[in-house]
Structure 1
Amino acid sequence: MAQTLATPVAPSVSLICNTKPSISPSSSSLSFRSINPSKNIGGLRIKCVRVGNVEIPNNKRVEYSLQYIHGIGRSRAKQILSDLSLQNKLTKELSDDELIQVRDEVSKYMIEGDLRRFNAIAIRRLKEIQCYRGIRHIQSLPCRGQRTKNNCRTLKRGKRVQIAGKKKPPGPK
């Protein structure tokens, strides 16, 4: 018996993510499956959308799903929506034209890898010139004036260490 594989045609490759092709033993057709499918186009289930080389969630509003991109926060996401005069609807409800507009608007900003690289270069420069902030970065201590006696556990790396030989105060009797 000859096996035939039916391959679904994708309308836009950039919209597809988190889909895994699989051939089931009971049937001889190729199917795409996804966890929690939200949009079905020609046999493909689309779970999320790619904007700025980042997969943003499909089941959240555009304002919040844009914040998954490094470099876009709450105010910049609101600014993008107001510049495009888009309503804050679910990401899966965006049309192809609106999605292209959002991608073009997001590409105007410094995001993801470029932003991380820019920040790393700035920190490296501070370390090289041995300024106060650079020295604090080298020592893994806060460099914006925070106190270090009680807080900054994440920068000091680790849990609080008990001092050996220090007795606990007596408890209530």
Structure 2
Amino acid sequence: MPRLLGVDIPGDKRLEASLPYIYGIGPTRSKQICELAEIDPNIRAKELTDQQLNRIITVIQDNKFVIEGDLRRELQQNLKRLQAINSYRGIRHRRGLPVRGQRTGTNARTRKGPRKTVGVVRNKDAKAGK
């Protein structure tokens, strides 16, 4: 299992399919990295030599791709900024509601979480007629 930039990528998969295990690298960027590093995207990740691994790392660093911790930190800062300026999107993030205009009357369970049934608490003396 090769290790790239602090992330273990699966060795049994093709290089093109194993690079997206790095946060911030998707399928398109994976193809782009393989082209720039001049490495066959169909080679298995465990078959990579140290020289090829170094070429992949230099391509990622030279093109200033934001990945892993830096990307996560940047996204968190964006959310904090939206919440600090009390924008509509920031308020929706803070309340855990859908941010991009989806309906919330029904559905939206992913953001809102499981249903919390609100019922009436009955007085036990009321039923007996006392």
TM-score tier (shorter): 0.7 to 0.9
Q: Relative CO higher for 1 or 2, CA cutoff 8 Å, sep ≥ 6?
A: 2
**1:74-125 CA distances to partner (integer Å, 9 max, x unpaired)?**
1111111122222111001112211110122223311111111100011000
Structure with higher helix content: 2
Q: 1:90 to 1:126 in 2, by over 3 A?
A: same
Q: Which amino acid aligns with 2:17?
A: Y
In the alignment, structure 1 segments of 5+ residues that lack a partner are 1-47, 166-173
- Residue 49 of structure 2 corresponds to residue 95 of structure 1: yes
In the alignment, structure 2 segments of 5+ residues that lack a partner are 121-130
Q: Which amino acid aligns with 2:71?
A: L
Secondary structure of the equivalent of 2:9?
strand
**Structure 1 runs of 4+ off > 6 angstroms?**
none
Q: Distance in 1 between matches of 2:7 and 2:107?
A: 34
| Other-structure match for 1:148 | 104
- Residue 25 of structure 2 corresponds to residue 105 of structure 1: no
| Other-structure match for 2:8 | 55
Q: Which amino acid aligns with 2:49?
A: S
Provide the aligned C-alpha RMSD in A.
1.7
Q: Which amino acid aligns with 1:72?
A: I
| 1:1-173 map, 5 Å | 48-88=1-41, 89-107=43-61, 108-158=64-114, 160=115
Q: Distance in 1 between matches of 2:9 and 2:116?
A: 41
Identity among equivalent pairs (%) = 44
**1:150-170 CA distances to partner (integer Å, 9 max, x unpaired)?**
322121012x456769xxxxx
TM-score normalised by structure 1 residue count: 0.62
